Structure 1
Amino acid sequence: MGTDWGPIVIAVVLFILLSPGLLFQMPGRMRAMEFGNMCTSGISILVHSVFFFAILTILVVAIGVHIRAP
C-alpha cells in the first residue's frame, strides 16, 4: 500500500506559486495587484494564505486529487 502524495505535492506547488511577491502580490504597495515586485506586507501575507488554503481545500477535499506511490 503506497502513500498518497497528492496533498503534499499540491501544497508544495501552491506554497511556491502563491508566495507574496514572487509572481504577484495582492494588495500591492501602489496598486491593488503588483507583479514580480519581490516585496511583501502583513496584509498581503494574510490574503495569500487565504488563497492558499481555499485552493488547497478545493483541490484536495472537494476534487480529491490523489497521487499514489507504488
Structure 2
Amino acid sequence: MGDWAGVVIGLVLSVVLSPGLFFQLPGKGRPVDFFNFQTSGISIFVHSLLFFAFMVIFLIAINVQISRG
C-alpha cells in the first residue's frame, strides 16, 4: 500500500514517452523526429510498447520501490 514506485515511474514515463512531445518514433519523413508535436497511429503503438517495456524493466526486473517512512 505504501509503494509509490509504479505511480512515479508511470507518470515520468508517460510524460517522456508522449509521441511528439520530445521525440517521435517513427517520424513522418525520418526514423526519429524531435519536438514536432504531431503523432500517428504507428508512433502511438511504438511508444506504448516502449512504455510497457520500461515499466516491466523498472518494476519487475530491477524491483524499484519507493516507500514512505
Query: When the two structures are superposed, what TM-score results if normalisation uses the length of structure 2?
Result: 0.96
RMSD: 0.9
> Which residue number corresponds to residue 55 of structure 1?
54
Unaligned runs of 5+ in 2: none
Unaligned runs of 5+ in 1: none
User: What SS does the corresponding residue of 1:20 show, helix, strand or coil?
Assistant: coil
Instruction: Write the letter of the residue equivalent to 2:2.
Output: T
* Number of equivalent positions: 69
Query: When the two structures are superposed, what TM-score results if normalisation uses the length of structure 1?
Result: 0.95
| Seq. identity, % | 51
